Amino acid sequence: MLVSLVRSFSRQGIRVPVSRFSTYNALRSNSDYKSDAPNYEHILTESHDKVGLITLNRPKTFNALSSDLFHEINDALKKFENDSSIGAIVITGNERAFSAGADIKEMLNQTFANSYKTNFLFHWGEINNIKKPVIAAVNGFALGGGCELAMSCDVIYAGETAKFGQPEIKLGLIPGAGGTQRLTRVIGKSKAMELVLSGRTFTAQEAEQWGLVSKVFPVGEVLEKAIELGQEFAGFSQPVIQAAKESVNSAYELSLREGCHFERRIFQALFSLNDAKEGKDAFANKREAKWTHD
């Protein structure tokens, strides 16, 4: 069903790149590249210097999101979170699809009682508990759960042919992993309502214009640029980067007054860090800071 839905978009004139896309062939010659090889079935993991890379690897289903796949994503995220050598994480797919959505086969026999008792989709939100910056590198389709996964990341970089959307209405459903909430907060009620109720897709250029996507790049550059951004984040003090992420995220949960209070308290607390002392001293003495991450 998922493949049929994607093909229907293709008939509407939405182009699907057909070239094969390696996890990160462009950087395979980099000496900082390291392959991590736990026994994952649906994802690939690698590290590039201080950046952990998670690649969705179900190409035959346009990287359809299943419960098993999300358990693997969550496991990889936690491993990178607990790895002190990693300062940022990138999640990507391939040129055809970041992810075209949830695995519909998994939902065919789903009932309200079962989904309620098992809290179906709850574990899809564990990415929100990751303290380190998470960047989505999106090419091709990011539809339904794929769009929701991208929006759960802290920054989205997109290829110029990427297509986003929440087409659940066409399946007799609504977004169930944050789509109605995050999309509305970013692009506003009217535009989000139009897109969710119609199931229409929108382009990477539109997503950038509306503030959903940070930057748009040629297809072949997206992953490289995302990893470069991750390296930039990882080059700063890890506890300070994590505090900054927490403060920005609080803007979606708190009033302006409460948010500014929270920000100010975090700002004050950071003066207790050795890295704050190091950063100020390095600036005053016109030298490069040497972060110890404490």
Q: Which of 46, 72, 95, 168 is catalytic?
A: 168
Tell which phi-psi region holds residue 121, choosing left (phi > 0), alpha (psi between -120 and 50) or beta. left
**Nearest Cα to Cα of residue 212 among 263, 163, 176:** 163
Q: Which of 52, 145, 159, 279 is catalytic?
A: 145
102 is catalytic: yes
The DSSP call for residue 65 is B
Question: Pairing relation of β-strands 33-36 and 43-48?
Answer: antiparallel
- Residue 135's Cα: distance from chain center in Å? 5
Tokens of 68: 């098993």
Q: Who contacts 4 (Cβ-Cβ below 8 Å, separation ≥6)?
A: none
81 is catalytic: no
Tokens of 118: 């098992």
224 is catalytic: no
In three-state secondary structure terms, 111 is coil
**Nearest Cα to Cα of residue 152 among 174, 199, 185:** 185
Q: Which of 46, 72, 95, 148 is catalytic?
A: 148
By CB neighbour count within 10 A (0-12 exposed, 13-18 middle, 19+ buried), where does 36 fall? middle
How far is Cα 294 from Cα 284, in angstroms, rounded to an integer? Answer: 20
Sign of CA dihedral 176, 116, 102, 200: negative
Give, in degrees to the nearest 5, the angle at Cα 149 between 262 and 99. 165
Q: Which of 64, 97, 100, 102 is catalytic?
A: 102
**Nearest Cα to Cα of residue 223 among 100, 133, 138:** 138
159 is catalytic: no
How far is Cα 46 from Cα 34, in angstroms, rounded to an integer? Answer: 6
How far is Cα 238 from Cα 130, in angstroms, rounded to an integer? Answer: 13
Residues with a known catalytic role: 102, 145, 148, 168
